Amino acid sequence: MMAKDQATMDVTLTMDTAQPRRLDQMVQGVLGGAMARPEGPLKVRGAATYAAEHAVADLAEGVLVRATITKGKVKAIDEAAALKLPGVIAVLTGGPLLRNPAQGQASEAPEQVLPEVHYFGQPIAVVVADSFENARHAAQTLRVTYTEAKAEVDPETASTVERPKKSQIETGDFDAGFQAGAHQIDALYHTEPHTSAAMEPHASIARWDQGRLELWGSYQMLKHNVAELADAMGLPESKVRIHAPYVGGGFGGKLGIAPEAVAAAHAAREIGRPVRVVMARQQVFDMTLRRTETAQRLRLACDATGKITALAHEDRVSNLPGESYSEPVAQGTHFLYGGADRRFTHEVARVHRPAAGSVRAPGEAVGMIALECAVDELAEAAGIDPVELRLRNLPKTAPKGDLPFSENALGRCLKEGAARFGWDKRGTTASRRDGDWWVGLGVAAAVRTNVLEESIARVTLEPDGSATVATDMTDIGTGTYAILSQIAAEMLGLRPDQVTVKLGDSDLPKSSGSGGSFGAQSCGSAVFLACQGLRAALAKRLGTTEEELTLKDGTATSGNRRVPLADVLDSGLSATGHIKPGDTEDDFAIAGYGAHFAEVRVHAFTGEVRVARMLGIFSIGRVLNRLTAESQCHGGMIWGIGSALSEELQHDRRDGRIVNHDLAGYHVPCHLDVPQLDAVLLEDTRDDQANPIQAKGIGELGISGAAAAIGNAIFNACGVRVRDFPATPDKIFPHLPFDDWG
């Protein structure tokens, strides 16, 4: 690492070794506290400008047109009638309008070539008019004819099933180890498809200026989105600029460029004026990425003491033909529990449903439903308390690769959570009744892999002693504005309101973006490094060292000398921080850990399930902002309630179309579904191998395992073991103990 005493300097760190806990020596006292989001008042007043709300002159409106077949080719589009309607400007198809625009390929196709169709609801055209109403009317009157082809839509009967070689793993002799176990579990679990369902729909405004495309969009990872959009439009990346200062939720659905952005850019170029395209909720469900359904076979064997000796996690997911992504279902299973004899198989069924992609903690969110329910089944078979069985099977090193853990507080989370939740009062199966309701408790471990992504941020100390943080990082409702201002304020001895944070502009230094729970630690580390550079430059000007310099309340102190920070700055000072992943990610198993506890009530005569209370206790390294971190935990636990009890995309088995493609048919948990949630953070933990600020991701850890805790509580309440999620009443009612009906 090197810093230069000049107006602008670069500070770069590659994570090859454990990092000192430098933040612990800072004295401003703003990091880790429950600081409210600085942009919160704007959002509450409706003054925060989201993608569709930017004021752009001479704006035309575009509406996407969906395919009404599952597979085939558009034979003809009769646009004559539509073009005669009032206000209609153009009907555009072909070129960039692909089944998955993030794939690019547009420059290889003629602009008006008629598209091939790969799934029901795929965008095939965009109609542009002077108003949204006129564009929608024309889109509804457009006449499209097709040449249809046979399409497979059911993953269970798909004729093409691929097995990626790297996902087939076996250590030891699983078959022999499984048969030798004193207790065995062999169970098949299913989870239904999910969608991101962010509150803000996908929306984009595109404008061209002297050959450069400027787009206001609702996106999570701008440096990648620029590359995708440039590829889709046949442009160099330097000719694309994306703005996303506020994003109304992402959950993976806005990681990659979606059809509305490409359609807006395409249409704006063709008609020579700015175009806005906003997806209707049904279009968001149909045209953006879904989470795949899963079929998971879990086989576990343990010895007489409950020690797991054999473990197999075999799964099948689905995606469109040709798509490279597949849900990493067993991602958490690889390192959560021990067992010498292990088998992992992963299958991808090729079907013509909308493309599958990352949604809300890909891998662990659904894989740990099956794993943690199977562990509970093993505890039941062995006659061992479920918390105790988990504690007996915590490995000393990660089973995959035999890597040391950078930090693993799962045991502590289980023990402290059990004590807080009153686990000792848990009764035996179907032993507690409150009127018409069976009552039960359940537990599940939580784990989420932790990733450090390359990230750059620029921090400037202004002449008046205030600071400005600039990066293309996004805030998707997770608290980025707050956290980055806190890190800079802590390092530079300022109040958070003296720090201005500029985000969501792809012309700013390129960050990790928001996704995979890596945003805070990646971009936060870049801000930290930039501030270290500034501190070193200030120390040199004061004739001291960075370690001996104290910055607090806008004052620089070294020895007996105290100087207002503004007096040291002259015309200001700027530094760029650049963090890169290095050897630590290969030398250590780095993850966040936690434990979920749930109490449920199951109606004795209907099978309705209500969650009465939940506790999540989490180890995430350094807590950067307690308020936003707890909010993320609560959100994850609520996602767990949805995964456990209500959320499922329903595909028509004849043509693969999504039949519940709105928030009326796809039930995310509402206020009445969610009880009082208790999220506890182990604030004294640090992970020196993760990054220079010793923090780990929280956004997706909160969902991982949460649904399994509810499923396990259902079994404890009424004795019904649900293996097909969500656990709707029809899956519980037929198996309830009705002996007391009289």
CA–CA separation, 479 and 626 (whole Å): 11
Q: Does the structural domain 291-451+587-741 have CATH classification 3.30.365.10? A: yes
Instruction: Look at residues 479, 516, 675 and name the one whose alpha carbon lies nearest to residue 591.
Output: 516
Length of the chain in residues, anyone? 742
pLDDT at 250 over 70: yes
- Mapped to the 3 state alphabet, what secondary structure does 608-642 carry? CEEEEEEEEEEECECCCEHHHHHHHHHHHHHHHHH
CB count, 10 Å around CB of 557?
18
Residue 451: pLDDT band (50, 70, 90) is very high
Q: Of all helices (H) and strands (E), which one includes residue 538?
A: helix 519-541
Report pLDDT for 571: 86
Question: Which CATH number applies to 8-30+453-581: 3.40.50.2000, 3.30.450.40, 2.60.40.730, 3.30.365.10?
Answer: 3.30.365.10
Report pLDDT for 436: 96
**Tokens representing residue 672 in the block:** 């009445």
CA–CA separation, 322 and 300 (whole Å): 34
Instruction: Look at residues 515, 604, 522 and name the one whose alpha carbon lies nearest to residue 255.
Output: 515
Mean pLDDT along residues 136-160:
97
pLDDT at 2 over 60: no
% of the chain residues with pLDDT over 90? 93
- The overall average pLDDT reported for the chain is 95
Catalytic residue among 39, 490, 630, 700: 700
CA–CA separation, 221 and 501 (whole Å): 17
CB count, 10 Å around CB of 145?
10
Residue 557 C-alpha from the chain's centroid: 42
Residue 401: pLDDT band (50, 70, 90) is confident
In tens, the pLDDT along 180-206 reads 999 999 999 999 999 999 999 999 999
Report pLDDT for 477: 95
3-state secondary structure of 500: strand
Name residue 440's beta-bridge partners: 600
pLDDT at 560 over 90: no
Mean pLDDT along residues 318-333:
96
CA–CA separation, 549 and 533 (whole Å): 13
Assign residue 397 a region (left: φ > 0; alpha: ψ between -120 and 50; beta: otherwise). Answer: beta
Report pLDDT for 738: 76
Mean pLDDT along residues 561-590:
95
Residue 97: pLDDT band (50, 70, 90) is confident
Residue 112: pLDDT band (50, 70, 90) is low
pLDDT at 129 over 50: yes
Crossing angle of helices 706-718/364-382, nearest 10°? Answer: 30
What is the radius of gyration, based on Cα positions, of the chain?
27
Quick check: 164 and 346 in contact, CB under 8 A?
yes
CA–CA separation, 488 and 696 (whole Å): 18
CB count, 10 Å around CB of 605?
11
Mean pLDDT along residues 625-650:
98
Same fold: 8-30+453-581 with 291-451+587-741: yes
Report pLDDT for 6: 46
Report pLDDT for 111: 55
Mean pLDDT along residues 523-532:
98
In the chain, domain spans: 8-30+453-581, 51-66+71-150+202-278, 291-451+587-741
Report pLDDT for 7: 56
Name residue 295's beta-bridge partners: 190, 316
In tens, the pLDDT along 645-682 reads 999 999 999 999 999 999 999 999 999 999 999 999 99
CA–CA separation, 367 and 370 (whole Å): 6
Instruction: Look at residues 628, 518, 649 and name the one whose alpha carbon lies nearest to residue 197.
Output: 649
CA–CA separation, 467 and 497 (whole Å): 10
Report pLDDT for 739: 64
Report pLDDT for 5: 46
Upper half-sphere CA count for residue 61 (Cβ side, 13 Å): 18
Query: Which of the residue ranges 1-5, 244-248, 279-283, 516-520 would you say has the lowest mean pLDDT?
Result: 1-5
**Tokens representing residue 514 in the block:** 């928001």
Quick check: 63 and 136 in contact, CB under 8 A?
yes
**Architecture label for domain 51-66+71-150+202-278:** 2-Layer Sandwich (3.30)
Q: Is 700 a catalytic residue?
A: yes
Mean pLDDT along residues 318-342:
95
Q: At residue 124, what are phi and psi to the nearest 5 degrees? A: -125, -15
